[in-house]
Amino acid sequence: MIDMTQEMSSRTASTSRAQRLAADAAEAADVRRWRTHPDVVALRIERVRAQVDRLCWAGIILGLAFTAANVQWFAAAGSEFGSLPWLTAWLLDPTVCLVLLAILRAEQVTARYQVRTGRWVRAAKWLTLAATYVMNTWSSWAAGSPAGVVLHSVPPMVVFVAAEAVTDLRDKLTDAVQIALVNTAKPADVHELATADRERPARRLFADYLADARLAWKPEVKVTPAWVREVTGCSRGLSSRLAAELSAEVNEGVRHGS
């Protein structure tokens, strides 16, 4: 009788332990499932993105603030304190910095959606950064002071590197969100995503719209922006350019087939 009681107690203890382990395993699986859920991953990445943005913006603004005094001293060129040249010299650095900050702010949005900017944007960013560097270090170079060159080179170089790095970081953070979505999606969902990407219409260029307008044009048709929008489906802003281009071709008696 005692042996049977001990055996039943042992079985009960084993069952309770197994149930606890099963409950722990189920809880762990549930936690893991939610931690890898695309929405949870996206939320965590957005928090990291916000921290990265705040830290980079703080460093960039502090670096530009440091350069403001150097640029003012460079532009004032020994002018008397409080004089008009001395006061207007303070406008030089904000002129350059505001353009740079505008570009970086725009890249903050374009990088989020992985939209590539053009060559002029990069050229403007590099030009403003190069101008800031030259104005900060010119006096030290002219005086032949290596210590001054190093001192005044650090803030502009940090701003330059941060401006380039923060754009790439935002782009990679967006990639991380997309990778999390693909890794946790079901095979059918992945197939649907791939199909949607393939079926997404390609971006139409000016030449494509112009070719459509040429095909639709007839001698009795008067080329107007409204007519161009009707036959090509282009935007209102683009229709004026298309109408002007096609009108010039018509006036010259040139028609190009596609």
Residue 159 lies in a domain: yes
CA-to-CA distance for 192 and 23, rounded, in angstroms? 35
101 lies in the same domain as 116? yes
CB within 8 Å of 212: residues ≥ 6 apart:
231, 232
- In Å, what is the CA distance from 220 to each residue of 70, 216, 250? 67, 11, 11
Residue 20 lies in a domain: no
- In the prediction, which pLDDT does 5 show? 53
DSSP 8-state class, residue 83: S
The model's pTM: 0.52
Tokens 């570009």 — which residue?
103
- In Å, what is the CA distance from 48 to each residue of 22, 55, 112, 175, 177? 34, 11, 13, 14, 12
Q: Letter for the amino acid at 4?
A: M
Residue 26 lies in a domain: no
47 lies in the same domain as 94? yes
Residue 209 lies in a domain: yes
Phi, psi of 99 (to 5 degrees): -65, -45
151 lies in the same domain as 215? no
Domain count, the chain: 2
Residue 190 lies in a domain: yes
Q: Which residues of 60-77 are buried (b: 16+ CB within 10 A; e: fewer)?
A: beebbebbbebbbbbbbe
183 lies in the same domain as 169? yes
126 lies in the same domain as 56? yes
127 lies in the same domain as 194? yes
Per-residue pLDDT of the chain (258 residues; tens, 9 = 90+): 555 455 545 555 556 777 777 777 777 777 777 777 777 778 888 888 888 888 888 888 888 888 888 888 888 877 888 888 888 888 888 888 899 889 888 887 887 777 778 888 888 988 988 888 888 888 888 888 888 888 888 888 888 888 888 878 877 887 777 777 776 655 445 455 455 555 555 567 778 888 888 888 888 888 888 888 888 887 776 778 888 888 888 787 644 444
138 lies in the same domain as 246? no
CA-to-CA distance for 131 and 156, rounded, in angstroms? 10
Boundary of a domain, candidates 156, 176, 198: 198
CA-to-CA distance for 156 and 241, rounded, in angstroms? 41
161 lies in the same domain as 218? no
Domain around 184? 38-198
DSSP H helical ranges for the chain: 2-35, 38-76, 84-88, 92-112, 119-143, 146-184, 187-199, 206-216, 225-232, 236-251
Boundary of a domain, candidates 198, 214, 242: 198
CA-to-CA distance for 240 and 68, rounded, in angstroms? 44
Q: Closest by alpha carbon to 37, among 174, 190, 184?
A: 184
149 lies in the same domain as 242? no
Residue 27 lies in a domain: no
Instruction: Name the CA radius of gyration of the chain, rounded.
Output: 32
Residue 22 lies in a domain: no
Q: Closest by alpha carbon to 112, among 174, 50, 165?
A: 174
51 lies in the same domain as 168? yes
Residue 49 lies in a domain: yes
Structure tokens at 187: 């095979």
- In the prediction, which pLDDT does 12 show? 57
Q: Does residue 66 contact residue 133 with C-beta atoms inside 8 Å?
A: no
- In the prediction, which pLDDT does 253 show? 67
177 lies in the same domain as 92? yes
89 lies in the same domain as 179? yes
CB within 8 Å of 238: residues ≥ 6 apart:
206, 209
